[in-house]
Amino acid sequence: MIEYLMDSAYYKSIPYLYEGMKLTLYITIVGLFLGFILGAFAGLGRLSKYSIIRAISTVYVEVTRGTPILAQVLFIYYGLTVVNIGELTSAIIAITINAGAYIAEIVRGAVHSIDRGQHEAGRSVGLTEKQTMRYIIWPQAFKRMIPPLGNQFIISLKDTSLFSVIAVAEVLYMGKQYYNATFEIFETLIMVCVFYLIITIPTSIILRRVERKLDV
């Protein structure tokens, strides 16, 4: 049994998929880090008292959430030919823009969920509006953001599989390269799913524990 597995595509595809998974995680982590920054600004922008900022933030969120990430990455890679963006950069930009829109809603919802009395309490002790947000509202809101941000990590991780269309060497693309050479499609795709599950299942377990610990 062990000899069969060692000689099968299940085992032989692992080095290829491992290289792809490293790039998948890199794109996801960098894209989500930048997406959180973008999403934080957009989310707070949707709560701004200035109508122009609210309008810009709303248009960004609605347009991005209303279009598929596959179309977005194709537009970035093929549509912006003047800029000549590479495959990896296009993938990171697509994850950043797409995740940022969803994170904006996470941020907006978390901040909006904080009781209005917290704002008034900050102002009553002499804090400015920005200081109240920084020291009172944001820490409480961020605590509530953690579970949905973890879910967004899982979603963005799986979304990277779409980037195989522009030849980004993520885990699915590497799997396709392997089974195109060996014709062992079933076994390779099984291992591709296993690699995704190795990341997503532990992440889901950790998120549930964090959610219980934070009681959110």
* Cβ(64)–Cβ(136) below 8 Å: no
* Cβ(77)–Cβ(87) below 8 Å: yes
Say what the pLDDT of residue 22 is: 93
**Cβ neighbours of residue 166 closer than 8 Å, sequence gap 6 or more:** 73, 74, 77, 78, 87, 90, 91
Spacing of C-alpha 56 from chain mean position: 22
H/E run at residue 20: helix 14-45
Q: How confident is the model at residue 113 (pLDDT cuts 50, 70, 90)?
A: confident
Q: Check whether 11 has a pLDDT greater than 90.
A: no
* pLDDT tens-digit readout, 27-79: 999 999 999 999 999 999 998 888 999 999 999 999 999 999 999 999 999 88
**Mean pLDDT, residues 116-139 taken together:** 78
Q: How confident is the model at residue 126 (pLDDT cuts 50, 70, 90)?
A: confident
Q: Check whether 92 has a pLDDT greater than 60.
A: yes
* pLDDT tens-digit readout, 179-216: 898 888 899 999 999 999 999 999 999 888 887 877 65
Phi/psi region, residue 126 (left: phi>0; alpha: psi -120 to 50; beta: rest), is left
- 3-state secondary structure (DSSP) of residue 183: coil
**Mean pLDDT, residues 121-137 taken together:** 78
Domains and CATH numbers, the chain: 2-214 (1.10.3720.10)
* pLDDT tens-digit readout, 155-168: 999 999 999 999 89
Distance between CA 169 and CA 64 in Å, rounded? 24
Distance between CA 145 and CA 192 in Å, rounded? 30
